[in-house]
Amino acid sequence: MSARTVSQIILCCLLMFGVFSPANALTEQELRAKLESAGYSQIRDIKSAAEGTAVKAMKDGKEISLVVDSSGQVKERH
């Protein structure tokens, strides 16, 4: 069996067992709570993006664009 075939089989198995499932993603309520506890307010424009969930919010009087990945890590977009 080629390495590519083995890789495809492993990826298929991981997908079937939910390892890469969006079920691990935060709900909107959990997302809002997480961001509010981190000091963000006026959380809005919550949209799905390639790198996670894109969000606009305010912090320290400034509008901030954020991305929250499926593990819940928050990153500011610049």
Name the phi and psi angles at 13, rounded to 5. Answer: -65, -45
Domain ranges of the chain: 24-77
62 residue type, one letter: K
pLDDT digits (tens, 9 = 90+) for 4-50: 776 666 655 444 544 444 445 688 899 999 999 999 999 999 998 88
The overall pTM is greater than 0.75: no
